[in-house]
Chain A
Amino acid sequence: MNSGRRHTKKAFPWRRSLWIASLLTPALVVMVLFVLWPLLSAFRLAFYEFNGLQPTGFIGFENFRKVLFEQPYSGWTYNALKHNIIAFVALMVFENGTAFLLAYALLKALPGHRIHQVIVFLPVVLSAVIVGFLWKLFLHPLFGLVNQTLALVGIGAIPWLGNENTALGSVLFANVWHWLGFPTLVLLAGMQRVGKEVIEAARLDGAGDYVLMTRIIWPLIAPSVTIVTILTFIGSFNWFEIPYVMAGLTGSPGGATDVLGLYFYRTAFGSTTTGIQDFGQGSALAVMMFIIVAGVTAIALRYLRRREIEL
């Protein structure tokens, strides 16, 4: 039987190659057309000056210089970048931290854990636009659920999305509410793979919940933590929908919720109410975002994988 198969392979190697090629081609065409080509175009356009909507000439790194070193563009770039970094740190601590605790609670299979699992995951299936709109209503200064509840205890109207000090936190909160279920599920799946005998052995040795979580579960779910960390990083730097719905294209108030995704969009494609399109500077921002996301992801993956082995 085996020798027969080998014989077929030798006799018709081109058939097998053709078969593999025919399977790969559709995906490859889609990748080239919709991923590689736009990416290469963005790289090319980042080096061109635009007069109106047409490229007028090659200007080297001028677009990069402007967005990195020339005011007011550089100020806007670093402001948006700062918010992306804050978003990553905040999501790691509040979203993934809560997700870890929730996953551990669900692992313990307390009464009603199945319904809790559904409730935690439910917002994930909603569209980001719906979530953003919903929380914009909840946080409305006059009619919102949050302020109406606070009014019961005598707290006055707080402009959650209108105050520079609370706007980013409010948008992040909505994001945590939306996505909490995803890391919870990934971490729970990781925890469920930890052998029961390991947990029981730790329990017999007198380990409490804290020791079990920090010394046993945490090291053993390292692959899940790697996935969650990388996805959170990519999500934080490609963040667009919820800030766009809740704070608008300008990242209001006064850029307090501006992130690179919003800044890129309004630079490249303009806005009816703010001004004109600049594909050159927009492409430079897109290239920088790509370099940050791809570069940091590659380095982080290397580090986290090594950590998985060490642990």
Chain B
Amino acid sequence: MSRRRIGLALAAASLAWGLAASVAHATDISFWTWRQEDKAAYNELFADFTKANPDIHVKFESFPDENYPTIVSTALAAGKGGDVIHTHAYGWLEQFVKAGYFEPQDLTTVPSLANQPADALVAGTYRADKKVYSLPFASQTLGLFINKDVFTKAGLTPPTSWDEFITVSKALKDKGIYPLANGMGTSWFNEMFVAIFTNPFLGQDFVSDLTSGKTTFKDPRYVAALGKLLELRDYMPPGFEGIDYDTAGQLFISGKAAMLAGGSFDIASYRTQNPAINMDFVAPPMAKAGDTPQVTKFFDGGYAVNAKSANKEAALKLVNWMGTKEFGDKFSALLGNISPIKGVVIKDELLAHVAKLNETAMPHINVVYFRFEKPTGSELLQGDITKMMSGSITPDQLAADLTNGLAKWYKPFQGK
């Protein structure tokens, strides 16, 4: 063997050794989520992260949404689970924090927290110690989808006020089009349906009065807003009591229905299912013409670090990166979600319009304030709203059930 060959062989061997050594020193961390459908996008985002941090590799692991709380709590209780955990917000997060499963985040460990607006941070903060445990990832907006082609064909203009909504809906119904695609067959969405149509009648003052203990859900403003929902029944599809949210979406994207009360989280999905759809996302009908348009907004969740993670430093590094503008820009572009990170540029026209609507949004009252203890406002409202819509209880009864149920743990409601 010539000297040159020996030299080449040695060089190749040392290169291979070096590569092997670098791989051996790389840290593998896992990211747990319920968002199975986002795998490709997250893998692309994680590839960017690894490019900037070659010593950290992130593995995407997803679990079914319905069983996600059970799977995560069981794993964390056993000292296992992903290094970074995708969490829901508010009360959902709090039960995990109480158990000590998540690492607190601050500006030292996660400097990108500074990029988050205050209302987003509330979603990831534990009320008792005021510390952030989950870096918020997206805001969701609830409003009204409009099938523009259906309106054009019918020669009508999408409504902006309640009176217009009723007039336009009557005209659509006369033309054989379902004005509103929604039904009451999906419990979790029924709660959102209530928020969408009642919030414009409630206003920020009601929220302030409610959360400061000045009033309860028995307030005439809330009861009257619930009463408005009953008027919608005439414009929903026949048998609406049994129509689920998926069917409503199909009625809307197929053009059988003109409007759909829904969430910005479905924009991307509706475009995929019907690329030709010409749709808009607007604020639900205002109480009267000239009022401020009010969509409903809440933060969906965030990214938390497993307190028992063996790779806490790498996990915190990833979470910090997920709070940067670089991540937020790409996240919004890939997933069609609105990142709360300050300065994020949303290129999609419709999504940018939704972000604009968010500026005057109302909170999703039950999710933001009443999911912290049992019975949750969601349990109570989801149980009663179908009864109210079918006429077996009145708005007054629903309001009383909600107030009395929450009074078990929400002190301002006790004795009222």
> A residues within 8 Å of B by Cβ?
51-54, 71-73, 139-143, 147, 156-164, 248-250, 252-255, 269-278, 281
- Contacts known (A139-B242, A140-B247); A164 close to B383, Cβ less than 8 A: no
Whether A52 pairs with B242 at a CB distance below 8 angstroms is no
Asked whether A274 lies within 8 Å of B188 as measured between CB atoms, the reply is: yes
**Tier of interface size on chain B:** 35 or more
- Contact between B238 and A157, CB atoms less than 8 A apart: yes
- What distance in Å separates the Cβ of B125 from its nearest Cβ neighbour in chain A? 15
A147 to B247, CA, bound (A): 16
Q: Is the CB of A54 within 8 A of B99?
A: yes
Residues on A with beta carbons closer than 8 Å to the beta carbon of B385: 254
Q: Are A52 and B376 in contact (CB under 8 A)?
A: no
Residues of B with C-beta under 8 A to A161: 185, 242
Please name 7 pairs of A and B residues whose Cβ atoms are closer than 8 Å in the assembled complex, sorted by A.
A54-B99, A140-B242, A159-B239, A248-B187, A272-B92, A273-B187, A276-B94
Q: Which of B91, B97, B241 contacts A159 (CB 8 A)?
A: B241
Is B378 an interface residue, CB under 8 A from the partner?
yes
A281 to B408, CA, bound (A): 15
Decide: B69 and A164 in contact? CB cutoff 8 A.
no
Smallest beta-carbon distance A158→chain B, Å: 6
Whether A269 and B70, one on each chain, are in contact in the complex, defined by CB atoms closer than 8 angstroms, is yes
Residues of chain A contacted by B92 (CB below 8 angstroms): 270, 272, 275-276
Pick from B67, B238, B243, B374: contact of A156, CB below 8 A: B238
Interchain CB contact under 8 A, B390 and A252 = no
A164 with B392: in contact, given A52-B97, A272-B92, A276-B376 (CB under 8 Å)? yes
Please name all residues of chain B whose beta carbon is closer than 8 Å to the beta carbon of A73 when the two chains form the complex.
375
For A249, give its contact among B66, B68, B101 (CB under 8 Å): B66
CB–CB A53/B191 < 8 A? no
- Chain A nearest CB: distance from B375 CB in Å? 6
| B386 pairs with A254, CB closer than 8 A | yes
Name B residues whose Cβ lies closer than 8 Å to a Cβ of A: 34, 65-70, 73, 76-77, 88, 91-92, 94-101, 183-188, 191, 237-243, 247, 251, 371-376, 378-380, 382-387, 390, 392, 401, 404-405
Residue of A with least CB distance to B185: A162
Other-chain residue from B237, B242, B378 in contact with A273 (beta carbon distance below 8 A)? B378
Give chain A residues whose Cβ lies under 8 Å from the Cβ of B247: 140, 142-143
> In this complex, what residue of B is CB-closest to A258?
B383
Chain A contacts for B99, CB-based, 8 A: 52-54
Most A CB contacts (10 A, CB to CB) among B66, B88, B91 go to B66
Q: Are B243 and A253 in contact (CB under 8 A)?
A: no
**Once the chains bind, are B376 and A274 in contact (CB under 8 Å)?**
yes
Q: Report the separation of the CA atoms of residues A255 and B375 in the bound assembly, to the nearest whole angstrom.
A: 15
Q: Tell me the complex Cα distance, A276–B243, Å.
A: 27
Choose from A139, A253, A281 the contact partner of B241 (Cβ within 8 Å): A253
Which of B66, B96, B387, B404 sits near A271, CB closer than 8 Å? B66
Interface residue from B383, B390, B401 paired with A250 (Cβ < 8 Å): B383
Contacts of B240 on A, CB cut-off 8 Å?
141, 159, 162
Q: How far is the CB of B95 from chain A (nearest CB, A)?
A: 4
Contact (A273, B390) CB under 8 Å given A51-B98, A142-B247:
no
Known: A142-B247, A159-B243, A276-B371. A255 touches B383 (CB 8 A): yes
Q: Which residues of B contact A159 (CB under 8 A)?
A: 183, 185, 239-243
Chain A residues with CB under 8 A of B70: 269-270, 277
Contact between A52 and B69 (Cβ–Cβ < 8 Å)?
no
Residues of A within 8 A of B383 (CB): 250, 254-255
B242 lies within 8 A of A141 (CB): yes
- Min Cβ gap A273→B in Å is 3
CB neighbours of A272 from chain B (8 A): 34, 65-66, 68-69, 88, 92, 188
Bound state CA distance, A72 and B379, in angstroms? 10
Interchain CB contact under 8 A, A53 and B375: no
How many Å from the CB of A242 to the closest CB on chain B?
16
- In the complex, A147→B243 CA distance in Å? 13
**Additional A-B contact list (15), CB under 8 Å, known A142-B239, A275-B378:** A52-B95, A52-B96, A54-B98, A141-B183, A141-B239, A143-B247, A254-B383, A269-B69, A269-B70, A270-B69, A273-B187, A274-B188, A275-B92, A275-B376, A277-B95
How many Å lie between the Cα of A270 and that of B22 in the bound state?
Answer: 43
Which residues of chain A come closer than 8 Å to B239, judged between CB atoms? 141-142, 147, 156-159, 162
A147 to chain B, nearest CB (A): 7
Asked whether A253 and B373 contact (CB < 8 A) given A162-B240, A274-B379, the answer is no
Is A141 a contact of B188 with CB atoms below 8 Å? no
